[in-house]
Copies of this chain bind each other. A is one copy, B any other.
Amino acid sequence: MYTVDELRAIIKEELDKKEYIQEPYSLFEPILYILEDGGKRLRPLLTLMAYNLYREDIEKVLKSAIGIEIFHNYTLLHDDVMDDAELRRGRPTVHKKWNSNVAILSGDAAAITAYQCIEHCEDKYLRRAIDFFNQVAMDVCRGQQYDMLFETRNDVSEEEYIKMIYLKTSVLLAGSLRHGALLADAPEHEYNALYEFGGYLGLAFQLQDDLLDSYGDQRLGKAIGGDILEGKKTYLMITAMSHADEATREMLRTAYRDPALSDAEKIGKVKSIYDRLDVPRLTEQQIQLRFERALSILDTLSVAPSRTQRMRDYAMSLMDRKN
């Protein structure tokens, strides 16, 4: 069985081959640019790890794992245009470094490249691989659409928010795992179980991301309170809104754009409401619930406990939790 570091090195080596590049180079240059800035390579890693639960010949799933990473980066290219984001992992976004047209068209080329990579599998898996990938890709789009729709609404429920982040981020993690297990010839109920594991893990991860943005430490490398200052709808904000009285709701809605307050005062004001409404503990509960469900699913797999242990360790490390 491979270690996570070994798998990450294998992913890097495969990406560095840049085998998918065609003419004109300028169409692929922005794809190389966004791919080279790294990130955790979470999705192809999950694909390889799921495959490696069952089989050792991971080169068989490598091309399609790369496809999943390229797909993820395609969504980043387009999302950054839609959000008009300036920076991505500390570097100018593609539409800022070049322009939106470049980000749109190179994004499109990345999506097609992803499809080309995904189909690298034996014929007997092809229909399911494509079916599953189509569904995941569509769910990611649906999640992004809900996210944009929610921006202009003040009555988003916790349930709606959870559904949105599930579609926008968890489904791709879930699909990465299922794809790896499918190509490893895992039985249907096991690749579906891994899909479920990924869904819960993704939700736990995303909710924790929300929590850490307001209450986290420096490990994230993010400014604490960024979400509050942007007036972003996070799980914390939505939970607070649903528990607050009307006067408090009005404060939550307007604090971030109150010209009388400094940034630190805005953050302090919102967090004191969160604290009063017990939001951090309620959020932590939701994280814990989903993380435990995710881990319990690993116990249902037919593989040796030593093999699932590595997946468990990796999930722990993602959540920054000690075993």
Contacts and interface: CB of A to CB of B under 8 A. Distances in A.
A116 B138 CA distance: 10
Interface stretch (A107-115, A204-212, A266-274, A308-316): A107-115
Q: Is the interface of A mostly helix, strand, loop or mixed?
A: helix
Given A81-B104, A82-B104, A138 B119 contact: no
Nearest to A148: B101
A149 interface: yes
A81 B109 CA distance: 16
A112 B130 CA distance: 11
A108 B141 CA distance: 7
11 contacts: A23-B142, A27-B142, A78-B105, A105-B144, A105-B145, A105-B148, A111-B111, A115-B130, A116-B138, A119-B131, A126-B127
Contacts of A109: 138, 141-142, 145
B127 A123 contact: yes
Contacts of A134: 112, 115-116, 119
A131 B117 CA distance: 10
A145 B26 contact: yes
Query: How many chain copies?
Result: 2
Interface of A: 22-24, 26-27, 78, 81-82, 100-101, 104-105, 108-109, 111-113, 115-116, 119, 123, 126-127, 130-131, 134, 137-138, 141-142, 144-146, 148-149
B82 A101 contact: yes
A81 B105 CA distance: 10
Contacts of A131: 119
A148 B22 CA distance: 16
B119 A137 contact: no
Contacts of A26: 145, 149
A105 B138 contact: no
Contact of A112 (B137, B146, B148): B137
A119 B115 CA distance: 12
A112 B81 CA distance: 19
A118 B101 CA distance: 27
Given A123-B127, A130-B115, A138 B104 contact: no
A123 B27 CA distance: 33
Nearest to A146: B24
A55 B137 CA distance: 34
Contacts of A116: 134, 138
A141 B101 contact: no
A130 B126 CA distance: 10
Contact of A141 (B112, B141, B145): B112
Q: With a 10 A CB-CB cut-off, give which of A23, A24, A104, A144 has the most chain B CB atoms.
A: A104
